[in-house]
Structure 1
Amino acid sequence: MKRRSKYVALISIFCVVGFWYLHRNPQAAVRTTLFSAGFFKTSWQADIKRAQGSCYLVTPAPIETETKAALVSYQVKKVGCFYFAEYYGEA
């Protein structure tokens, strides 16, 4: 039983550190959002710059297949020590 609790603790620590790594700063939060939305190549190669306030611009912007719209701007919010990004719309 003691061995199992060590594994649970180790996996829990790994998950918390991994989550922190993916949300440690605004650029990482935008890259995580792009990756989870299915834009794998863009999440690695895009240039992310701060536009104004909490808005960040992605160049080159990923193109959504259904609407053929460029997903250019993302709004980043800070919650505690983590950053979370969501698509903002036209900036």
Structure 2
Amino acid sequence: MELEMAAEDLKSVLNRLRRAQGQLSGIIRMLEDGRDCEDVITQLSAVSKALDRAGFAIIATGLQSCMADGDVDAADRDAMKLRLEKLFLSLA
């Protein structure tokens, strides 16, 4: 299954991932500088949420694409649905 995203959706997901990447770099610096544990955990939580949101957006797009594809037979659609469900649950 190939992921096809609208340009606006792709831009949003990429922005979230880049933001998370920056936050993660900041956390590494915080640890190297011996920053307060509470500050580090707060930033870890923010990175985790950003990654979860990006993952959910990708899965939602995949699910929408799979369900809209009229050329796929019922068995293939069910298999795709199960794979996407498994991916979704891995983020939960």
| Greater gyration radius | 2
TM over 0.5: no
| Larger RCO, structure (CA 8 Å, separation 6 or more) | 2
**Which one has a larger percent strand, Structure 1 or Structure 2?**
1
**If the length of structure 1 is used for normalisation, what is the TM-score?**
0.38
**If the length of structure 2 is used for normalisation, what is the TM-score?**
0.38
